[in-house]
A and B are shown apart, each in its own frame.
Chain A
Amino acid sequence: MTRRAETLRNSGTVIGGLVILSFTILLAISFGSVHIPMSSILSILAGNKHGISESWLLILWKIRLPRILAAVMVGGVLATGGVSCQGLFRNPLSEPYLLGISSGASLGATIAIVSLSTSGGAGLGAVGLSALIGALVVTTVVFFAAGRTAFRLPSTLLLSGIAIAFLCQAVIWLLMTLNRDQVERISFWTLGSLASAGWSRVVWLAVFTLPTTILLSVMGHIIDVLSTGYDSAHGLGLRPQRAAAIVLGLTALGTAAAVAVAGSVGFIGLMVPHVARFMGGPSHRPLMIRSWIGGAILLVLADLAARTVNPPGEIPVGIVTALFGAPFLLILARGKKGEGRLDG
């Protein structure tokens, strides 16, 4: 394919993806655990509040819409995190969670839940903030534990991430054992949910995830070079150590912000990059953009399912993504057997 044709194809995919994302968002706005008639939704969206009940306005503007936008950004950033990890580590099973981000966030959230219950007070944001700090601290520990060879030998970093994830889990279980009255809250948090994503969190997500996503896309060609191996990257005139550190730092920051808001929503970071690769070339910049759109669509749909399968109740969105993600990944892996594309 010529370069021009590829660019055209990439733009086509992106535009198509954005159109699908827009429809998905509209679909997600139209349904929820509370049924609001389409005509009322359209008049609310058009700014016509006449004759619309207060609670519907509140539900649409303050609950459903921010939640959907949060799903867009969380899904998007988790997927791009998957792209950068899989590219950097040259490993199809990599995802940002392996860097200790989700276990660190869970540990941070657990500590906040446990300690705030005794001191009382403190807003809801404290748990999310503690999760963010936990994610960043644990990820830093993972990097340092992996030592100097971390970037040259990604397996060291992944191993260190897995070991420290186990350590975090052990501490979480210990805290759950010692604070049995909080076990439910901790498990609900860990399962992942977008239920509490109001506008303040949307702003927060936008501040953290959009710049990191854009920077990662801009750095796409650097990831291209890094994914050929560190020595060859060095040969191509790149300082691979520093480049990899920046890519991973951005990935960790974006993912940590997402996990702090939504909990450890699984499978998106692992799954979406494979799908996105399927729909276009392996070049990382367009791949990153396609993955962001794909992750956004997927999480909005998963959250829509989480909100509507069992009204007026909900199920944690992490259960939905895992339930559909796992078989999907298996099908994908089987379909590609022999092609070696999972490794590409």
Chain B
Amino acid sequence: MHRGVLMNSTRNSRLIVFLLLSAVLLSPLFARGTTESDDSSKNILLTDHYGRKIALDTPPATVVSLSPGITETMFALGYGDRLTGRTEYCDFPPEAARIASLGTLQEPNIEAIVAVHPDLVIASTHFPEEALARLDAAGQKVAVLMGQESFQGTYDGVIRPLALLLGDIPAGESLIAGMETERKNAAAKAAGFPRKPSVYYVVGFGEGGDWTAGGDTFIGEMIRQAGGRNIADDVRGWSFSIEALVDRDPDVILIPAWADGMFQTAPIYKDLRAVRERRVRVIDENIIVRQGPRLAEGYADLVDAIGSIF
């Protein structure tokens, strides 16, 4: 609530100082006031992914995000302005670039995080336990939010708990509702495919060998849900071969942006049916694998790419 007041008061610097001061001075009163009106609990209570209890009197005013998915979700929920730190990998939305980077996913800069001293650090996948221990030791409040690799996991493991922590459950529900609409539309489109096109997903190719997303990966699962038949469904993990690719000659090939142009002109690959028939599509893997608000968009992109053969 007082966030809106702060945002609309940028015209007069004196007013800002006054409001900031009053916000600081009055925030405990505000907190007390809101919790009094909400008689279920005095605190924000959450059990995070590691089963750690997070208890807050008020929603955090400053947050350091240690995951691109968390950063995206913060912005999507309308609280991007509370971020005081992010990781190197947080490249979406573009506004995220203005937030200070405090290290990488796997190696967050503990000293820098502690120096920023946010009300809450929110981490997700790839967050090293050792970093958690060091932040704990420094007395820094940390919540680790992640779910199973699925839409439901993203809703229940990331978006809902984050909305809860921010004291804005409705924002979370409306974000999820929007994503569900997009997902259902895409799923309906996929269900309408006259047949299941065969799909190959490029992770790497050429000199270093051929790498793809096997049947047991999240991307493999998404391809299945997007109405495609992954030609690497029998692969566990990521390893593939050019012989198998030629043999299984897919209808559609999905490539990362860096491979665009290179893949279509490389020897052998250029003779694949999908390349000759111009059915190679660029897919941004980040959108699919990040547990965040763009998951439905990533899924819809996949459905569109796979359906492009019809």
Which A residues lie at the B interface, using CB under 8 A? 32-34, 55-56, 58-59, 62-64, 109, 116-117, 120-124, 127-128, 180-182, 184-185, 187-189, 191, 193, 195-196, 198, 200, 263, 307, 310-316
Contact = CB atoms under 8 A, between A and B. Distances in A.
Closest 7 CB pairs of A and B: A188-B208, A313-B239, A312-B244, A33-B241, A195-B209, A34-B247, A193-B209
Contact of A313 (B88, B89, B207, B241): B241
Interface stretch (B41-49, B189-197, B254-262): B254-262
A58 B206 CA distance: 16
Contacts of A314: 209-210, 239-241
Contacts of A56: 247
Given A63-B268, A181-B258, A312-B240, A127 B207 contact: yes
Interface string B205-219: 011111100100000
A33 B242 CA distance: 9
Given A59-B247, A189-B208, 5 more contacts: A63-B243, A117-B258, A196-B206, A313-B235, A313-B239
A69 to B, nearest CB: 15
Nearest to A131: B207
B246 A121 contact: no
A32 B243 contact: yes
A310 B104 CA distance: 33
B262 A122 contact: yes
B232 interface: yes
B9 interface: no
A184 B210 contact: no
Nearest to A64: B243
Given A58-B246, A124-B267, A195-B209, A182 B241 contact: no
Contacts of A312: 232, 234-235, 240-241, 243-244, 248
B234 A184 contact: no
A143 to B, nearest CB: 27
A116 B261 CA distance: 11
Given A59-B243, A59-B246, A188-B211, A123 B234 contact: no
Contact of A55 (B203, B239, B249, B266): B249
Contacts of A181: 258
Contact of B258 (A55, A64, A109, A182): A182
A231 B235 CA distance: 59
Nearest to A261: B207
B241 A188 contact: no
A32 B243 CA distance: 8
A123 B266 CA distance: 6
B247 A313 contact: no
B271 interface: yes
Nearest to A198: B267
B191 to A, nearest CB: 29
A304 B180 CA distance: 48
Contacts of B214: 313
A80 to B, nearest CB: 24
Contacts of B258: 117, 120, 181-182
Given A189-B208, A313-B235, A195 B241 contact: yes
A313 B237 contact: yes
B265 A123 contact: yes
A193 B235 contact: no
Contacts of B80: none
B60 interface: no
B246 A313 contact: no
A195 B240 CA distance: 11
B59 interface: no
Nearest to A189: B208
A200 B270 CA distance: 15
Given A33-B244, A313-B235, A188 B267 contact: no
